[in-house]
Chains A and B, each alone.
Chain A
């Protein structure tokens, strides 16, 4: 009775296909390569400490500063030079990478979990639940977030946890909106109705029927939130509201450089952490873009996403 012939085209698994598309794009390979290097750099930070013999917070005023008290330019002992206190920029950069990556990834993951949960709940249940949750997202988006972050930090004092908390609080709404929109359109699909007509409960439908269909936006938007979080953290540190000095962070290093316009005479103080920061966010952005194209080659219309994360 099987009258319809089998399609002659062999279908590859969707993940294999994605990987193939990614590897065909030189930009995404370069981006991924750079991300791996930065991660390795962060992990190996203690090794740099041992290799140079310089601690991240120790001040080498004799060897690392000129007689006039100016920081030393990159040289044999200090490969990336020293800062205004005579600290080794290379070692600080390595430890700073830990902060950036940790905050970036952790905040993006937390924001994504919160966003997916809220978005799915709002989208699936609709009605009053949706009204309340959507208003809540509107509310969070209507908050002048950097000002509030400043206010929070000024009250509680700067810390790593607070930085992450602030970033998560102000960036989950992007994910929440995207997921809500997706779930609303998925909920109208007949396969969800089929599940309901078979007697599946809301949890079963949400996790078995809907969640797997959200994997693409979740992966893509989480990846794209990482650079936003990294910049957000750097900005907080730059304004002196992030990581507590003397612990190194890229934003903090740039803030030190900006103080008294020191970087005008010591270019490496901006160039090195600035380049590290720019290339890292660029790599994540490129990778996120390629990931989206690879996972979703047809370029399905993307829901309008309000961008928060980065501020000016």
Chain B
């Protein structure tokens, strides 16, 4: 039985710059009791799609049909929609921190829903909510009923959101990136809970995510979106084992989890198109590795295959698996006799109370860290949020003074160097930051940003500086002619390249990457990871790589240190940690990071028929 069906859904959003064609001609059906996944990168239109379904986009022009249990949602009045929201469709949003009202207790926020839709008696409603809260894993639910959102951790808040979505037993629950804002281990718990709840109650779940791998283990059907279009749709088994659209294949090939450690990734080149324009041919053609002449000229036809896969593509069979044919894995052996760049011994950091009304608290962030890095190697630092990994990076970079222990940088003890030596030493450690939007000053030109190290250390100026900057831009794959542009004119991936160029300027002995790819889309991630690796090979750089993502870390690092609550719980060769983790926390991290199934190639798939796109 079909719960939700969208037919030729098109969403246009007017903005100051023009009309954004966020969703174009998308159709899909979701059957009762299944978990239907929608995957896509930022700008693919997946979130807009669900908001359009719920009628939460007042300014958008929406065409097509959305049938929920046979009723067209788009034809309903606001009032009718209100009675459907919550009771027939439950919503789980991405960020549990901001999605709950900070001024109301979680219990009252859920009971409010029961009262609005069912006019239940207060005590009965409360009992129902308490039972459900206990069911989703809130301990002491009866007492915590009156607590406020800020008194819960992120994972607990997401459990509250799940309870809220389920309390009226809606046939359909839409989960919009439900785990993106959470730590890996918590992520796994939430996904497991969601899966359990939907099986228990027979709820249909529509799950939206940028993480294709996440869907592989739980989705029954899925749809891959790109630039507002439905690129591929079908049952999850054949779709993962042999993606029929080059974009799906490219997404899978971009994920380091699908490779041997150290292999060269095959990224999707280029960047997503502007949604303001309508390309003549296939929207993906400019980035497609399998593109043919016809792709850029004519809109692709819909290919329908025997195993239920439908694809919007000119190809008549699945594209080749490029990850399998990727260059052999080269894990450079690190010479254990090469120089030690940085050595940390028992590094401690504690924040004490301060201010006028001194509260006596003391927060230990780092509790005795020992590590060393040798020239040419990459050490991965893995841990969840709050474990102190970014703080450690800043301590090593000298941005935060430590409160105990010793750091030796190129033979100098940092606690003893005089300011002048420090100024020269400082050049040896450079940082690349996580947020490509925050790391570049929006009011300065790229040339000035990359040239900053030269300005601050008074090295090159005028023409010489410009030449140096342009050399760096070329090195990281930027067009040197864009010297005079502002950061806002670059995409996330390009900004990260700018950040790397700036870090390279002073020929540092150590580059610290603080989650350099976690804010980027998968396809762009692979480009940046490849760039980092090729730079390291060419320039014999030393990296300290900080990430929460074990797959990424394993892919680029020689050694891995696992950090938990300010302590290194396990450290060793990357492969050793990956294949035989010793510490329970490492094992938890590993089992939590979802691993995509390996591809098995086409299994008896036949093209049934094709539907040509309208000439118009």
Contact = CB atoms under 8 A, between A and B. Distances in A.
Touch A–B, Cβ below 8 Å:
yes
Interface of A: 1-9, 11, 127, 131, 189-191, 193-200, 204, 208-209, 212-213, 215, 297
A212 B427 CA distance: 25
Contacts of B401: none
A160 B398 CA distance: 52
Contact of B441 (A3, A5, A213): A213
Contacts of A5: 270-271, 286
B171 to A, nearest CB: 38
Given A189-B438, A194-B431, A212-B443, A199 B482 contact: no
A4 B270 contact: yes
A18 to B, nearest CB: 13
13 contacts: A2-B478, A5-B271, A5-B286, A7-B490, A190-B433, A190-B439, A197-B397, A197-B398, A197-B429, A199-B456, A212-B441, A212-B444, A213-B442
Nearest to A13: B486
Interface in B418-477: 423, 426-427, 429-431, 433-435, 438-444, 452-453, 456-457, 474, 477
Contacts of A297: 16
Given A197-B397, A212-B441, A8 B274 contact: yes
Contacts of B477: 1-4
B488 interface: yes
A224 to B, nearest CB: 22
B493 interface: yes
B47 interface: no
Contacts of A191: 438-441
Contacts of A213: 441-443
B229 interface: no
A197 B430 contact: yes
B286 to A, nearest CB: 7
Q: Is the interface of B mostly helix, strand, loop or mixed?
A: loop
Interface residues of B, number: 54
Contacts of B354: 127
> Which of B277, B398, B433, B506 gathers most chain A CB within 10 Å?
B433
A177 B455 CA distance: 32
A190 B438 contact: yes
B70 interface: no
Contacts of B270: 3-5
A209 B441 contact: yes
A199 B457 contact: yes
Nearest to B277: A8
Contact of B431 (A2, A131, A193, A212): A193
Contacts of B423: 199
A93 B616 CA distance: 68
Contacts of B311: none
B494 interface: yes
B489 interface: yes
B515 to A, nearest CB: 11
Nearest to A195: B452
Contacts of A189: 438-439
Given A6-B479, A11-B486, 9 more contacts: A1-B477, A2-B477, A190-B433, A193-B394, A193-B433, A195-B456, A197-B426, A199-B456, A212-B441
